[in-house]
Structure 1
Amino acid sequence: MEQLRVTNQDREHVVEHVKAAYAEGRFDELEFEDRLERAMTARTHGDLMPIMSELYGPRGVPMPRPVPPRATPARMHTGPTESPERLAASAAHGLAAIGFPIVGPLIFLLTGGKTSPYIRQHALEALNFHLTVIGASILLPITVVGVVLLPVIWVAAFVLSIAGAVSALTEGSFRYPMTLRLVK
Protein backbone atom coordinates (compact mmCIF):
# COMPACT_ATOMS: atom_id res chain seq x y z
CA MET A 1 0.00 0.00 0.00
CA GLU A 2 2.84 2.39 0.83
CA GLN A 3 4.25 2.09 -2.71
CA LEU A 4 0.87 2.63 -4.37
CA ARG A 5 0.89 5.81 -6.44
CA VAL A 6 -1.31 8.66 -5.23
CA THR A 7 -3.86 10.59 -7.23
CA ASN A 8 -4.36 14.33 -7.26
CA GLN A 9 -7.46 13.74 -5.14
CA ASP A 10 -5.33 11.94 -2.50
CA ARG A 11 -2.92 14.87 -2.41
CA GLU A 12 -5.75 17.40 -2.14
CA HIS A 13 -7.28 15.42 0.73
CA VAL A 14 -4.04 15.62 2.70
CA VAL A 15 -3.62 19.31 1.79
CA GLU A 16 -7.08 20.02 3.24
CA HIS A 17 -6.07 18.33 6.50
CA VAL A 18 -2.83 20.34 6.61
CA LYS A 19 -4.73 23.59 5.99
CA ALA A 20 -7.24 22.76 8.72
CA ALA A 21 -4.47 21.98 11.22
CA TYR A 22 -2.70 25.24 10.33
CA ALA A 23 -5.95 27.20 10.75
CA GLU A 24 -6.33 25.62 14.20
CA GLY A 25 -2.86 26.91 15.10
CA ARG A 26 -1.28 23.48 15.46
CA PHE A 27 1.93 24.60 13.74
CA ASP A 28 3.58 27.74 12.42
CA GLU A 29 3.86 29.03 8.87
CA LEU A 30 7.22 27.39 8.16
CA GLU A 31 5.92 23.98 9.26
CA PHE A 32 2.76 24.58 7.23
CA GLU A 33 4.74 25.34 4.07
CA ASP A 34 6.96 22.29 4.62
CA ARG A 35 3.98 19.93 5.01
CA LEU A 36 2.20 21.54 2.08
CA GLU A 37 5.26 21.10 -0.15
CA ARG A 38 5.65 17.46 0.89
CA ALA A 39 1.96 16.76 0.28
CA MET A 40 1.90 18.40 -3.15
CA THR A 41 5.02 16.57 -4.35
CA ALA A 42 4.11 13.16 -2.89
CA ARG A 43 4.23 10.31 -5.39
CA THR A 44 3.19 7.38 -3.20
CA HIS A 45 0.99 6.77 -0.18
CA GLY A 46 4.21 6.17 1.73
CA ASP A 47 5.05 9.86 1.13
CA LEU A 48 1.67 11.03 2.46
CA MET A 49 1.47 8.78 5.52
CA PRO A 50 4.14 10.62 7.57
CA ILE A 51 2.30 13.90 7.05
CA MET A 52 -0.96 12.43 8.29
CA SER A 53 0.88 10.75 11.18
CA GLU A 54 2.28 14.12 12.20
CA LEU A 55 -1.26 15.49 12.26
CA TYR A 56 -3.17 12.59 13.76
CA GLY A 57 -0.59 10.28 15.35
CA PRO A 58 0.41 6.80 14.23
CA ARG A 59 -3.04 5.26 14.89
CA GLY A 60 -5.17 8.00 13.41
CA VAL A 61 -6.02 9.55 16.76
CA PRO A 62 -5.73 13.33 16.64
CA MET A 63 -2.65 14.59 18.43
CA PRO A 64 -3.51 16.80 21.39
CA ARG A 65 -3.53 20.42 20.35
CA PRO A 66 -1.42 22.79 22.35
CA VAL A 67 -3.61 25.09 24.34
CA PRO A 68 -3.19 28.61 22.98
CA PRO A 69 -2.01 31.12 25.52
CA ARG A 70 -4.73 33.23 27.05
CA ALA A 71 -5.10 36.57 25.41
CA THR A 72 -3.54 39.25 27.51
CA PRO A 73 -4.10 42.96 27.11
CA ALA A 74 -0.69 43.14 25.41
CA ARG A 75 -1.85 40.64 22.77
CA MET A 76 -5.26 42.18 22.21
CA HIS A 77 -4.80 45.48 20.47
CA THR A 78 -7.07 47.96 22.15
CA GLY A 79 -4.64 50.82 21.84
CA PRO A 80 -1.12 51.68 22.80
CA THR A 81 -0.02 52.81 26.17
CA GLU A 82 2.82 54.76 24.66
CA SER A 83 2.16 58.43 24.12
CA PRO A 84 4.31 58.72 20.94
CA GLU A 85 2.16 56.10 19.20
CA ARG A 86 -1.03 57.95 20.06
CA LEU A 87 0.48 61.22 18.90
CA ALA A 88 1.68 59.77 15.59
CA ALA A 89 -1.70 58.13 14.91
CA SER A 90 -3.41 61.40 15.70
CA ALA A 91 -1.02 63.29 13.42
CA ALA A 92 -1.95 60.98 10.53
CA HIS A 93 -5.54 62.20 10.82
CA GLY A 94 -4.55 65.79 11.64
CA LEU A 95 -2.23 66.28 8.67
CA ALA A 96 -5.00 65.06 6.41
CA ALA A 97 -7.34 67.65 7.93
CA ILE A 98 -5.01 70.60 7.39
CA GLY A 99 -4.32 70.06 3.71
CA PHE A 100 -2.16 66.96 3.30
CA PRO A 101 -4.88 64.36 2.70
CA ILE A 102 -2.68 61.74 1.05
CA VAL A 103 0.87 62.64 2.04
CA GLY A 104 0.20 62.98 5.77
CA PRO A 105 -1.32 59.54 6.40
CA LEU A 106 1.06 57.95 3.89
CA ILE A 107 4.14 59.24 5.72
CA PHE A 108 2.92 57.75 9.00
CA LEU A 109 1.87 54.53 7.31
CA LEU A 110 5.31 54.03 5.78
CA THR A 111 7.28 55.04 8.86
CA GLY A 112 5.46 54.30 12.11
CA GLY A 113 3.03 51.83 10.57
CA LYS A 114 5.81 49.31 10.07
CA THR A 115 6.43 48.98 13.81
CA SER A 116 3.12 49.94 15.38
CA PRO A 117 -0.19 48.30 14.51
CA TYR A 118 -1.97 51.23 16.18
CA ILE A 119 -0.34 53.83 13.93
CA ARG A 120 -0.91 51.60 10.90
CA GLN A 121 -4.62 51.20 11.71
CA HIS A 122 -5.22 54.94 12.03
CA ALA A 123 -3.00 55.94 9.07
CA LEU A 124 -4.72 53.41 6.80
CA GLU A 125 -8.15 54.60 7.86
CA ALA A 126 -7.24 58.26 7.23
CA LEU A 127 -5.60 57.44 3.89
CA ASN A 128 -8.55 55.40 2.64
CA PHE A 129 -11.05 58.04 3.72
CA HIS A 130 -9.22 60.87 2.00
CA LEU A 131 -8.71 58.81 -1.15
CA THR A 132 -12.49 58.35 -1.15
CA VAL A 133 -13.05 62.09 -0.66
CA ILE A 134 -10.64 62.95 -3.48
CA GLY A 135 -12.38 60.43 -5.76
CA ALA A 136 -15.76 61.95 -4.89
CA SER A 137 -14.37 65.44 -5.48
CA ILE A 138 -13.34 64.41 -8.98
CA LEU A 139 -16.53 62.56 -9.88
CA LEU A 140 -19.23 64.68 -8.23
CA PRO A 141 -18.80 67.86 -10.31
CA ILE A 142 -20.18 65.92 -13.27
CA THR A 143 -23.66 66.42 -11.82
CA VAL A 144 -25.38 69.61 -10.68
CA VAL A 145 -26.24 68.05 -7.30
CA GLY A 146 -22.61 67.01 -6.91
CA VAL A 147 -21.43 70.59 -7.28
CA VAL A 148 -23.74 71.62 -4.44
CA LEU A 149 -22.66 68.67 -2.27
CA LEU A 150 -18.93 69.19 -2.73
CA PRO A 151 -18.46 71.91 -0.06
CA VAL A 152 -20.54 69.87 2.39
CA ILE A 153 -18.34 66.84 1.79
CA TRP A 154 -15.17 68.89 2.35
CA VAL A 155 -16.46 70.31 5.63
CA ALA A 156 -17.54 66.83 6.73
CA ALA A 157 -14.08 65.48 5.81
CA PHE A 158 -12.41 68.18 7.92
CA VAL A 159 -14.68 67.52 10.92
CA LEU A 160 -14.28 63.74 10.66
CA SER A 161 -10.49 64.09 10.42
CA ILE A 162 -10.46 66.10 13.65
CA ALA A 163 -12.70 63.48 15.28
CA GLY A 164 -10.28 60.76 14.11
CA ALA A 165 -7.32 62.67 15.53
CA VAL A 166 -9.04 63.07 18.91
CA SER A 167 -10.03 59.40 18.91
CA ALA A 168 -6.42 58.37 18.21
CA LEU A 169 -5.18 60.52 21.10
CA THR A 170 -7.62 58.87 23.50
CA GLU A 171 -6.59 55.35 22.41
CA GLY A 172 -9.83 54.79 20.55
CA SER A 173 -10.56 53.02 17.34
CA PHE A 174 -12.02 55.22 14.61
CA ARG A 175 -13.75 54.24 11.37
CA TYR A 176 -14.71 56.86 8.82
CA PRO A 177 -18.21 56.45 7.36
CA MET A 178 -18.80 55.70 3.66
CA THR A 179 -15.17 54.93 2.95
CA LEU A 180 -13.84 52.77 0.16
CA ARG A 181 -11.00 50.85 1.78
CA LEU A 182 -8.71 50.63 -1.23
CA VAL A 183 -5.43 50.32 0.67
CA LYS A 184 -5.15 47.32 2.95
Structure 2
Amino acid sequence: MPQDIHRCEWAGDDPLYVAYHDEEWGTPERDDRKLFEFVVLESAQAGLSWITILRKRENYRQAFAGFDPDKVARFTPARVERLLGNAGIVRNRQKIEAAIGNARMSLALRDEFGSIAGYFWNFVDDAPQINRFPTMADIPAKTPTSEAMARDMKARGFRFFGPTIAYAHMQAMGLVNDHILGCFRWSEVQG
Protein backbone atom coordinates (compact mmCIF):
# COMPACT_ATOMS: atom_id res chain seq x y z
CA MET A 1 0.00 0.00 0.00
CA PRO A 2 1.66 3.23 -1.12
CA GLN A 3 2.23 5.66 1.75
CA ASP A 4 3.03 8.73 -0.34
CA ILE A 5 -0.44 9.16 -1.80
CA HIS A 6 -3.13 11.26 -0.15
CA ARG A 7 -6.39 9.58 0.79
CA CYS A 8 -9.41 10.37 2.95
CA GLU A 9 -8.33 10.45 6.60
CA TRP A 10 -10.95 7.92 7.71
CA ALA A 11 -9.05 5.16 5.88
CA GLY A 12 -6.32 5.40 8.52
CA ASP A 13 -3.57 2.80 8.25
CA ASP A 14 -5.47 -0.46 8.80
CA PRO A 15 -4.73 -2.46 5.61
CA LEU A 16 -8.34 -3.67 5.36
CA TYR A 17 -9.71 -0.15 5.67
CA VAL A 18 -7.15 1.23 3.21
CA ALA A 19 -7.99 -1.46 0.64
CA TYR A 20 -11.71 -0.78 1.08
CA HIS A 21 -11.12 2.95 0.55
CA ASP A 22 -8.75 2.49 -2.38
CA GLU A 23 -10.66 -0.21 -4.25
CA GLU A 24 -14.37 0.07 -3.40
CA TRP A 25 -15.71 3.04 -1.47
CA GLY A 26 -17.29 5.64 -3.68
CA THR A 27 -17.05 3.65 -6.91
CA PRO A 28 -20.42 3.81 -8.70
CA GLU A 29 -22.03 0.39 -8.24
CA ARG A 30 -24.98 -0.95 -10.20
CA ASP A 31 -24.76 -4.65 -9.39
CA ASP A 32 -27.85 -5.73 -7.44
CA ARG A 33 -26.04 -8.33 -5.37
CA LYS A 34 -23.38 -5.81 -4.35
CA LEU A 35 -26.02 -3.23 -3.48
CA PHE A 36 -27.85 -5.81 -1.38
CA GLU A 37 -24.57 -6.81 0.28
CA PHE A 38 -24.18 -3.27 1.51
CA VAL A 39 -27.80 -3.09 2.68
CA VAL A 40 -27.00 -6.12 4.88
CA LEU A 41 -23.60 -4.88 6.06
CA GLU A 42 -24.63 -1.30 6.70
CA SER A 43 -27.74 -2.42 8.58
CA ALA A 44 -25.55 -4.70 10.71
CA GLN A 45 -23.20 -1.79 11.34
CA ALA A 46 -25.86 0.32 13.10
CA GLY A 47 -24.31 1.29 16.44
CA LEU A 48 -20.96 -0.33 15.63
CA SER A 49 -17.83 0.76 13.79
CA TRP A 50 -17.54 0.05 10.08
CA ILE A 51 -14.16 -1.64 10.54
CA THR A 52 -15.88 -4.17 12.84
CA ILE A 53 -18.24 -5.09 10.01
CA LEU A 54 -15.48 -5.12 7.38
CA ARG A 55 -13.57 -7.63 9.50
CA LYS A 56 -16.67 -9.86 9.54
CA ARG A 57 -17.53 -9.34 5.87
CA GLU A 58 -16.45 -12.77 4.60
CA ASN A 59 -18.30 -14.43 7.46
CA TYR A 60 -21.39 -12.47 6.45
CA ARG A 61 -20.90 -13.55 2.83
CA GLN A 62 -20.94 -17.20 3.90
CA ALA A 63 -23.76 -16.80 6.43
CA PHE A 64 -25.99 -14.84 4.03
CA ALA A 65 -25.74 -17.04 0.92
CA GLY A 66 -23.23 -14.88 -0.91
CA PHE A 67 -25.61 -11.93 -0.46
CA ASP A 68 -28.09 -13.45 -2.88
CA PRO A 69 -31.35 -11.68 -1.93
CA ASP A 70 -33.45 -14.46 -3.48
CA LYS A 71 -31.87 -17.01 -1.14
CA VAL A 72 -31.77 -14.77 1.94
CA ALA A 73 -35.46 -13.90 1.50
CA ARG A 74 -36.25 -17.60 2.01
CA PHE A 75 -34.33 -17.98 5.29
CA THR A 76 -36.47 -19.69 7.93
CA PRO A 77 -36.75 -19.18 11.70
CA ALA A 78 -34.49 -22.23 12.10
CA ARG A 79 -31.86 -20.50 9.96
CA VAL A 80 -32.15 -17.40 12.17
CA GLU A 81 -31.40 -19.59 15.20
CA ARG A 82 -28.31 -21.02 13.48
CA LEU A 83 -27.14 -17.51 12.58
CA LEU A 84 -27.50 -16.46 16.20
CA GLY A 85 -24.88 -19.09 17.01
CA ASN A 86 -22.46 -17.84 14.34
CA ALA A 87 -19.63 -16.00 16.12
CA GLY A 88 -18.41 -14.64 12.78
CA ILE A 89 -21.29 -12.17 12.44
CA VAL A 90 -23.04 -9.72 14.74
CA ARG A 91 -25.34 -12.02 16.69
CA ASN A 92 -28.27 -9.69 17.11
CA ARG A 93 -31.66 -11.22 16.41
CA GLN A 94 -33.20 -7.93 15.26
CA LYS A 95 -30.39 -7.27 12.78
CA ILE A 96 -30.46 -10.83 11.44
CA GLU A 97 -34.23 -10.73 11.02
CA ALA A 98 -33.91 -7.28 9.43
CA ALA A 99 -31.44 -8.67 6.86
CA ILE A 100 -33.97 -11.33 5.89
CA GLY A 101 -36.84 -8.85 5.76
CA ASN A 102 -34.67 -6.40 3.83
CA ALA A 103 -33.95 -9.16 1.30
CA ARG A 104 -37.68 -9.57 0.76
CA MET A 105 -38.08 -5.81 0.39
CA SER A 106 -35.14 -5.74 -2.04
CA LEU A 107 -36.92 -8.30 -4.22
CA ALA A 108 -39.98 -6.06 -4.21
CA LEU A 109 -37.75 -3.16 -5.32
CA ARG A 110 -36.41 -5.29 -8.14
CA ASP A 111 -39.94 -6.14 -9.23
CA GLU A 112 -41.04 -2.50 -9.13
CA PHE A 113 -37.95 -0.78 -10.55
CA GLY A 114 -36.50 -3.54 -12.74
CA SER A 115 -33.46 -3.82 -10.46
CA ILE A 116 -32.39 -2.97 -6.94
CA ALA A 117 -29.92 -0.56 -8.53
CA GLY A 118 -32.75 1.15 -10.39
CA TYR A 119 -34.35 2.01 -7.07
CA PHE A 120 -31.24 3.46 -5.44
CA TRP A 121 -29.99 5.32 -8.52
CA ASN A 122 -33.42 6.91 -8.93
CA PHE A 123 -32.63 9.07 -5.87
CA VAL A 124 -29.75 10.76 -7.73
CA ASP A 125 -31.38 10.88 -11.18
CA ASP A 126 -29.18 8.00 -12.34
CA ALA A 127 -25.93 9.99 -12.06
CA PRO A 128 -23.48 10.25 -9.15
CA GLN A 129 -23.60 13.47 -7.18
CA ILE A 130 -20.12 14.96 -7.29
CA ASN A 131 -19.20 16.72 -4.06
CA ARG A 132 -16.12 18.85 -3.59
CA PHE A 133 -15.43 18.73 0.12
CA PRO A 134 -11.95 19.92 1.11
CA THR A 135 -11.92 18.08 4.47
CA MET A 136 -13.72 15.20 6.16
CA ALA A 137 -15.24 17.71 8.60
CA ASP A 138 -17.16 19.23 5.68
CA ILE A 139 -18.93 15.97 4.79
CA PRO A 140 -22.42 15.69 6.28
CA ALA A 141 -23.66 12.61 8.13
CA LYS A 142 -26.95 12.77 6.24
CA THR A 143 -28.56 14.85 3.51
CA PRO A 144 -32.10 15.63 2.37
CA THR A 145 -31.66 12.89 -0.25
CA SER A 146 -30.61 10.29 2.33
CA GLU A 147 -33.50 11.38 4.55
CA ALA A 148 -35.92 10.88 1.64
CA MET A 149 -34.36 7.48 0.89
CA ALA A 150 -34.61 6.38 4.52
CA ARG A 151 -38.24 7.52 4.76
CA ASP A 152 -39.15 5.68 1.59
CA MET A 153 -37.31 2.53 2.64
CA LYS A 154 -38.99 2.56 6.05
CA ALA A 155 -42.39 2.95 4.38
CA ARG A 156 -41.54 -0.09 2.25
CA GLY A 157 -40.66 -2.14 5.34
CA PHE A 158 -36.86 -1.89 5.46
CA ARG A 159 -35.30 -1.90 8.93
CA PHE A 160 -32.03 -0.56 10.35
CA PHE A 161 -31.70 1.89 7.46
CA GLY A 162 -32.11 5.43 8.79
CA PRO A 163 -30.86 8.62 7.10
CA THR A 164 -27.26 8.29 8.33
CA ILE A 165 -26.99 4.68 7.16
CA ALA A 166 -28.72 5.65 3.90
CA TYR A 167 -26.05 8.32 3.34
CA ALA A 168 -23.27 5.85 4.16
CA HIS A 169 -24.85 3.54 1.57
CA MET A 170 -24.91 6.37 -0.98
CA GLN A 171 -21.23 7.08 -0.30
CA ALA A 172 -20.11 3.46 -0.39
CA MET A 173 -22.02 2.63 -3.57
CA GLY A 174 -20.89 5.76 -5.41
CA LEU A 175 -24.24 7.50 -5.59
CA VAL A 176 -22.26 10.43 -4.20
CA ASN A 177 -18.54 11.07 -4.47
CA ASP A 178 -17.48 12.10 -0.98
CA HIS A 179 -13.78 11.47 -1.36
CA ILE A 180 -12.17 14.71 -0.24
CA LEU A 181 -10.70 16.89 -2.98
CA GLY A 182 -7.10 16.05 -2.09
CA CYS A 183 -7.73 12.29 -2.13
CA PHE A 184 -6.32 10.44 -5.13
CA ARG A 185 -9.64 8.56 -5.46
CA TRP A 186 -11.73 11.73 -5.95
CA SER A 187 -10.80 12.00 -9.62
CA GLU A 188 -10.60 8.21 -10.16
CA VAL A 189 -14.24 7.60 -9.30
CA GLN A 190 -15.42 10.39 -11.63
CA GLY A 191 -14.88 8.15 -14.66
Output the TM-score relative to the length of structure 1. Answer: 0.26
CA radius of gyration, larger in:
1
Identify the structure with bigger relative contact order (alpha carbons < 8 Å, sequence gap 6+): 2
Output the TM-score relative to the length of structure 2. Answer: 0.25
Normalized per residue, the structure richer in helix is 1
